[in-house]
Structures are given as C-alpha cells and as structure tokens.
Amino acid sequence: MSGRSLPSEPGPPARLPEWARPRDDERRGLGSLRLAETTILILVGLFLAIATIDDVAKQTHVNHRLVADLRTWRALTGHDYHNVGTEQDVKEHTTRDTVCGNLSPGGPRERTQVCIVLVGPVISGRREASGGYYLPAKTEDGHRSRYACFGAAALEGLCGLKQPPAGAPPAPALQTGRR
C-alpha cells in the first residue's frame, strides 16, 4: 500500500454550474443580488403573515356564527340539547347553515329530528331561520328522508317525502324567524 490517497469524489456543490456554487466571498459589484433576495424574502414573509391573519379572522367569524346557530335552534325548539349537529354550505361558500337536533331526549339521530335552515348575519347572538324540515329517527340527512318542509325549504323542494314515514310522529309547528 502506498501513502497516496485516492482522489475523492466531488461533492454536490462542485457539480453545480459556476454561478450557482456557494462562495466564501461575494464578488465585487453584485450587492444588488443580496438586496433582491432580501426583498423577495420580506415579500414572501409579508404574504404569509397576511394569509394567516385572514384565515384566523375567517375562522373566528365561522365560530361566532356556529354559536349563534346553536342558540337560535335552542330558542326556536325550546330544547336545551347539546347533541345538535350543524352543517355548513361549503359547496357554494355561503353563510347558509342547517342545524339538526332531536325533538325528544335521546342520542344523536335516535329520535325524530327537526332541521332548521339559518341564513344571514348574527344579530343579538341569533340568526334568522328561513325554513326547515323533519327527519325520521335513525336516518341520515338526505333528500329522500326529509318530510314536512316549511319556509324556504318547502319553496326550494328540499323534501323527498310528501308524508311522514310510518311510525314517525307528525311534525309539530315551529315558529321560524328571530325572537
């Protein structure tokens, strides 16, 4: 064995073109490159900060609206149930929400449910109810299982059943609107 060492394989920076290799010192007259890089980094940081603030503000408004939806459902039905589900209109990105909950005590979807369609802004902690419909026990919220539409839900034809299903209690009258 000789004391010579084999030439080492060039590292990744050596494979890069001359202009892209890292340098120990900046070449004279190219201070504008550093200025451009700094400006771009500041603009990207500013864009990310604005996007984060916008996202947090939107989420805060959505949370405020969901609390008002629950308060409105409880005021209209006269029930203080906690297992109430809210469905947001994410397809068209509107503020139209549907809140469904049991008419009598029981687990979620174990009893006949009333679903109220809420629209508009939050005023005094509540929202305006534009209509709604009823769902039989143990069913998913779908066009085919809805019955006794009232208000805007009836005008839009959201109900698939013309009469309550066998064994379902008749739909009680609900007052819609702001109290």
- pTM over cut 0.75: no
Q: Which of 15-24, 45-54, 123-132, 163-172 has the lowest mean pLDDT?
A: 163-172
Give domain status of residue 35, yes or no. no
Give domain status of residue 65, yes or no. yes
Residue ranges making up the domain that contains 61? 57-155
The DSSP 8-state label assigned to residue 91 in this structure reads T
The sheet carrying 97-102 orders its strands as: 85-88, 97-102, 113-123, 126-135, 147-151
Give domain status of residue 84, yes or no. yes
Give domain status of residue 120, yes or no. yes
pLDDT at 113 over 70: yes
Q: Which of 22-36, 47-61, 85-99, 115-129 has the lowest mean pLDDT?
A: 22-36
Identify which of 171, 178, 170, 133 has the alpha carbon closest to the alpha carbon of residue 151.
Answer: 133
Give domain status of residue 171, yes or no. no
Give domain status of residue 118, yes or no. yes
Distance between CA atoms of residues 96 and 99, nearest Å: 10
Contacts of 101 (CB under 8 A, 6+ apart): 73, 77, 79, 81, 83, 84, 85, 113, 114
Structural domain count, the chain = 1
Give domain status of residue 174, yes or no. no
pLDDT at 45 over 90: yes
Instruction: Give Cα 124 to chain centroid, integer Å.
Output: 23
Give domain status of residue 10, yes or no. no
